[in-house]
Chain A
Amino acid sequence: MKQVGLLFFPAFDWSLGNSHPEREERLLYTRDQIFEEGIMDLPQYREYAPKLAREKDVARTHALLPGPEHILTPPHLVAAGGTLTLAKALMDGEIERGFAMVRPPGHHAMHTVYGNRGFCTINNVAVLANFLRHEYGLKRIAIVDTDVHHGDGTQDIFYHDPNVLYISIHQDGRTLYPGSGFTGERGGPRAWGQTLNIPLPPGTGDDGLLYVLEELVLPALAEFKPELVINSAGQDNHFTDPLANMQITAKGYGDLTRLLKPDLAVLEGGYAIETALPYVNLAILLAMAGMDYAGINEEYPAPVDTVPLSMIKPLVESVRTMKTKAPPLREWHTAERGVFYDTEYIWEKRSEKIKGCLDCPGLHLTYTGSGRAPGPRPEHLVIRLPFDTCPSCRLEAEKTLAEAQKRGSFRTVYWQDQAGDRFFYLDGQIREMKDG
């Protein structure tokens, strides 16, 4: 029997603040429950210890500004590294699938990172996906985000990437942080339809969630045919979560996992640390091993006033029948956006230029700056050469780098060559990101 890998990293010595939701206590009762059940002794499971992620593993996904030393701390490297540890175990054939129950979470961390946003700094799942592509040559990866919040960070990182399908099911952005994830956000022109957002009304219950899964998510996966499915397994859809308003139960999470069959699941949010997490984590673990989770009962009475299916169905129908034509390919696509880092009160302003290339996903240039008020000046340039960059995009990238170097108009230039796996910061000197 192939086992389910479990990487439990509760970071019992780290918090974002004494009474912050991301504190030492968050996975304490989860530990109590899964250890007391004796899960680790069952032949179905194999426990792993996290290894630190390497500089390069993070560099492949993020531009850390103004430089990695300002952003990266050991807890991030452990949480991200933990997911990579499980990925290795999976790819080496040691396990059938795996669950990285790690904190801190990651799905609000974007391509450019100035600090912590929505409790996230390093996007564990994105780092994981890009690690699998580089290290194991995977071509097509699907990420299904079932956190109650829209995973705007993961969406941002893969928005122009035709080879990563990002699906997010979340509480409608008009009613919840971060206020994005509408059905119209469908990916860049070269990756049109590879981002699928399914916002649900507050109060959606197990039946609504499973309906969406069966009617939208599973068909989208079947069509995309990924080599591997990653689940951003946030647990804040639970009916007792203090930060959101959904009505999902632990059994609902079990059903979700049973149907989705993720190869790797990674914990994201979930802050009902006593009433939800011990039970939801257990349900996911059991479902991953094909074991019975019907015996799991939260101590609270199950929700009764959930949104009726009749309200979910038209929504699903409207997503299904959205027009599928991608916008026309132009020489350059541009986008402007402001990003707010709620945890650290930082404003970022970004302009992006993506080359409309027929031969590759297209060179990606980001001009960005940050400050303590909206609309800071762009002072950094990020040059991203995506996986499978074509020779002409590479040439263009090198030209851009040379020009930026000559004019010296940027405080930092970050060279992110995913195709060639070379990453360096240029700020007066060249700082190569290393493997060690």
Chain B
Amino acid sequence: MLIGIDVGGTYTDGVAVNEEGEILAVAKYPTLRDNLLESLTGCLDQVMSGLSPLQVKRVSVSTTLLTNAVLQDKLEKTALLVIPGPGLDPTVLPFGVRPNVVAGAIDFRGRELAPVQPAQVKSLLMELIEAGHSGVAVAGKFAQRNNSHELKVESYALEHYPGLRVELSHRLCGSLNFPRRANTTYLTASSRTLFRHFLDQLEAGIRTRGITAPLYVLKADGGTLPLAAAARTPVETVYSGPAASVLGVLALLPEAETAVVMDIGGSTTDLGLILDGKPLLSSRGAEIGLFKTQVHSFAVTSANVGGDTPVEVVGGRINLGERRCGPAYCLGGSAPTPTDALRYLGLCEHGSLELAREGMESLASSLAVAPPEAARAVMEQVVERIATSFRQMVQCWEDEPAYRVWEVLHPHRMKRFKIFGVGGAAQGITPLVAEQLEAQWEAPEIGRVANALGAALAVPTFSCSLRADTGAGLYSIAETGVQLPWPNGRGGMEQARNLLSKHFRQRAWELGLTAAAGEITREEVFNVVRDSVTEGRIIEIGMELKAGVMTRVKGEERQ
């Protein structure tokens, strides 16, 4: 039996499912804004009532802890140190916090252009510690090609300030994009203690309930990681809620289906894409508040409209508000909302029909039309907002940059798709959106807990990328920051593959995963030619354990 729990803004959803894809229990528990732990354990108790803790094989949770910490500024006081070298003025780069510039420079092939200056680092650290920082995040431009400058800053810091929290960018992520790497490092450094503390409490809470099964945490890329591994990279757990919904839908769809996942919440509608059975990943990385990061995440677009979006009449037209002000009128709120329109039109059954009618009548009188017409006008606007976001999302995917001739000759094109609605008002809104987009649709009852289902069934994910510069005699692994001499010999790509799969297995073991089989997702070789002589090769190769679900939910469960 697998347990999944997703902490959302309003509700914490839970589900218990067995390995054959039969759903055993579902739960909805109000989220306590200031006590995520209590929300999680409360929901768990609801799910487990009537089930034996000994039957549990795995518990996976997705939390908003990190997102909340960033948005509510609850991070630990941490300084960002950057080593930008020559190039763009670092003050214009998109760092989420003020950067402190350290001298030194590395170029794109990992050659040192200018050394780190110990005296400068020393006075800078002293200043920062006096200002009350308990940790530093260090990120150098091209540190993924040569980590020596970051290591020097670290050893210097630890030598003079033992106990200082130090996080280095090359150990966390290695894609090209120095500001994003810096931001990722900063968020990791400033949230790790907080997150660790939370996970410890969570683990204790679950253990006291007699569950001895391993605990997993869901990530933005729709994969899970064991608690201990997740604790090292808390930033990867952002936006795991929307990812959970996409995965939940994946479990509810037949294999290799193409679908738009539409998760309708109170204030926003999240849209995700499943293409031929594979969730679409964002090409750049998650953005959390002011922080653009290198965190792999599903490409999820938010339309600024949900069941509780306030509706008013402005200039003789229906106008949707920009933010939620409370529940729907029919559920005791103060303004009419799309939920009221749906209730009035008989497209959903929540709330008081009487109040919904009152809400629509007030809109109708301002518009000088009949109430049903007003309700339909509201829904037209809602559908239009969602459809616009959907078109932007597809456009964005179709317009993704291409760097190879092959890619231009095989462009991304959206084919026939189905709209899969989940969340509160899904059954009312999905058919309307489907009609507008001329698509088929589905919005089964179980979709209410698709998020928890996704968490329960998610498989582990991770990636491992190797870059070798055989002329320089070096190779590195982007995700772990390992930098090693390239073994002699003329192995080329074959050798790179072997080394990569060795590091891949090693990383799986470090993350606490067993029997992980990776898939090669990218292979690129460049001959390095100088004066007409081939000096070596630059090889870039990536291996991934991709997002997916352990099992699909059985047909009869979907009704």
Q: Residues of B contacting A25 with CB < 8 Å?
A: 526-529, 538
Residues in B whose Cβ lies below 8 Å from that of A18 = 527, 529, 534
**Are B86 and A286 interface neighbours, CB within 8 A?**
no
Is B538 touching A28 in the complex (CB atoms < 8 A)?
Answer: yes
Contacting residues, chain A, for B528 (C-beta < 8 A): 25
Q: What residue in chain B is nearest A32 (Cβ atoms)?
A: B108
CA–CA, A18 and B534, complex, Å? 9
| In the complex, chain A residues 271-318 whose Cβ is within 8 Å of any chain B Cβ | 274, 278, 282, 286, 291-292, 295-297, 299
Do the beta carbons of B524 and A32 come within 8 Å of each other? no
17 further A-B pairs in the complex, CB-CB below 8 A; given A18-B527, A295-B88: A19-B534, A24-B526, A28-B526, A35-B176, A36-B177, A38-B88, A40-B284, A42-B93, A42-B94, A50-B402, A51-B408, A52-B409, A74-B408, A282-B88, A292-B92, A295-B87, A299-B113
For B404, list chain A residues within 8 Å (CB): 11-14
Q: Is A379 an interface residue (CB 8 A)?
A: no
- Do the beta carbons of A38 and B93 come within 8 Å of each other? yes
Q: How far is it, in angstroms, between the C-alpha of A24 and the C-alpha of B526 when the chains are bound?
A: 6
Counting chain A CB atoms within 10 Å of each CB, the highest count among B93, B401, B533 belongs to B401
Q: Tell me the complex Cα distance, A274–B405, Å.
A: 23
Closest-CB distance, B280 to chain A (whole angstroms): 16
Contact with A along B405-430 (1 / 0, CB 8 A): 11011000000000000000000000
A-side contacts of B179, CB under 8 Å: 38, 41
Please tell me if A29 contacts chain B, counting CB pairs below 8 Å.
yes
How many angstroms between the C-alpha atoms of A52 and B407 in the bound complex? 11
Q: Does B559 contact A (CB under 8 A)?
A: no
B219 at the interface (CB under 8 A from A): no
Rounded to whole angstroms, the CA-CA distance of A246 and B297 in the bound complex is 47
**Interface-central residue, A25, A31, A41, A47, by most chain B CB under 10 Å:** A41
Q: Can you show 20 pairs from A to B with CB atoms below 8 A apart?
A: A9-B403, A11-B404, A12-B403, A12-B526, A13-B406, A18-B527, A25-B538, A29-B109, A38-B292, A42-B92, A42-B93, A49-B400, A49-B402, A74-B408, A75-B405, A78-B408, A274-B109, A291-B88, A292-B89, A292-B92
Smallest CB-CB separation from B287: which chain A residue?
A: A41
Instruction: Name the distance in Å between A80's Cβ and chain B's nearest Cβ.
Output: 12
Restricting to A12-30, which residues have a CB under 8 Å from any CB of B? Answer: 12-14, 18-19, 23-25, 28-29
User: Closest chain A residue to B404 by CB distance?
Assistant: A13
The answer to whether A36 touches B178 (Cβ under 8 A) is yes
How far apart are the CA atoms of A14 and B403 in the complex, in Å? 10
| Closest chain B CB from A85 CB (angstroms) | 10
Across the interface, do B92 and A291 meet the contact criterion of CB distance under 8 Å?
Answer: yes
Ranked 8 nearest A-B pairs via Cβ = A32-B108, A35-B176, A38-B179, A297-B86, A13-B404, A19-B529, A25-B526, A36-B176
For A291, list chain B residues within 8 Å (CB): 88-89, 92
B322 at the interface (CB under 8 A from A): no
A278 vs B142: C-alpha distance in the bound complex, in angstroms? 14
State how many angstroms separate the Cβ of B106 from the closest Cβ of chain A: 10
A74 to B526 CA separation, bound complex (whole angstroms): 20
Q: Is B276 an interface residue (CB 8 A)?
A: no
Interface residues of B in 103-156 (CB under 8 A from A): 107-109, 111, 113, 141-142
Is the pair A12, B176 in contact by a Cβ cutoff of 8 Å?
no
Give A37 to B406 CA distance when docked, in angstroms: 26
Q: Is the CB of A36 within 8 A of B141?
A: yes
Number of A-B pairs, beta carbon distance below 8 Å: 120
- Per the bound structure, the CA–CA distance linking A18 and B532 in Å amounts to 9
Q: How far is the CB of B369 from chain A (nearest CB, A)?
A: 38
Residue in B399, B400, B402, B527 whose beta carbon sits within 8 Å of that of A19 in the complex:
B527
From A49, A52, A81, A297, B399 is in contact (CB under 8 Å) with A49
The answer to whether B402 and A9 have CB atoms under 8 Å apart is: yes
Q: Does B180 contact A (CB under 8 A)?
A: yes
| Binary B-proximity of A106-132 (CB < 8 A = 1, otherwise 0) | 000000000000000000000000000
Q: Which residues of A contact B409 (CB under 8 A)?
A: 52, 74
- Cβ of A163 < 8 Å from any Cβ of B? no
- Whether A41 pairs with B405 at a CB distance below 8 angstroms is no
How far is A325 from B96 in the complex, measured between Cα atoms in Å?
62
Q: A8 near B: Cβ within 8 Å?
A: yes
Cα-based distance from A17 to B284 in the complex (angstroms) = 32
How close is B361's CB to chain A, nearest CB, in angstroms?
44
Query: Shortest CB–CB separation between residue A376 and chain B, in angstroms?
Result: 31
The number of chain A residues with a CB under 8 A from chain B is: 46
Assembly CA distance A75 to B408 (angstroms)? 9
Question: With an 8 A cutoff between CB atoms, is A269 at the interface?
Answer: no
CB distance from A282 to the nearest CB of B (A): 7
Q: Is A10 an interface residue (CB 8 A)?
A: yes
Interchain CB contact under 8 A, B89 and A24? no
CB distance from A280 to the nearest CB of B (A): 13
Task: Determine the distance from Cα of A8 to Cα of B402 in the docked complex, in whole angstroms.
Answer: 8
Bound form: Cα–Cα A299–B400 in Å: 33
A33 within 8 A of B: yes
With a cutoff of 8 Å between Cβ atoms, the chain A residues found around residue B401 in the complex are 8, 47-49
Collect the chain B residues with CB atoms within 8 Å of residue A297's CB: 86
Across the interface, name the chain A residue whose C-beta is closest to B534.
Answer: A19
Q: Which residue of B lies closest to A78 (CB)?
A: B408
Contact of A296 with B178 at beta-carbon distance under 8 Å, contacts A12-B524, A29-B109, A49-B399 already known? no
Contact with B along A69-100 (1 / 0, CB 8 A): 00000110010010000000000000000000
CB distance from A272 to the nearest CB of B (A): 11
A43-55 CB mask vs B (1 if < 8 Å, else 0) is 0000111111000
Name which residue of chain A comes closest to B93, CB basis: A38
A28 to B107, CA, bound (A): 13
Chain B residues in 8 Å Cβ range of A52: 408-409
CB distance from A25 to the nearest CB of B (A): 4
Which chain A residue lies CB-closest to B537? A25
A37 adjacent to B292 (CB under 8 Å):
no
State whether A35 touches B405 (Cβ < 8 A).
Answer: no
Instruction: Give bound CA distance, A38 to B94, whole Å.
Output: 8
Give the complex CA separation of A42 and B89 in angstroms: 12
**A74 CA / B409 CA spacing, docked (Å):** 8
Nearest B residue to A11 by beta-carbon distance? B405
Given A75-B405, A299-B107, A282 and B87 contact (CB-CB distance below 8 Å) = yes
Chain B residue contacts of A47, Cβ below 8 A: 401
Report Cα–Cα, A150/B401, bound state, in Å: 31
A291 to B402, CA, bound (A): 26
Closest chain-B Cβ to A202's Cβ sits at a distance in Å of: 20
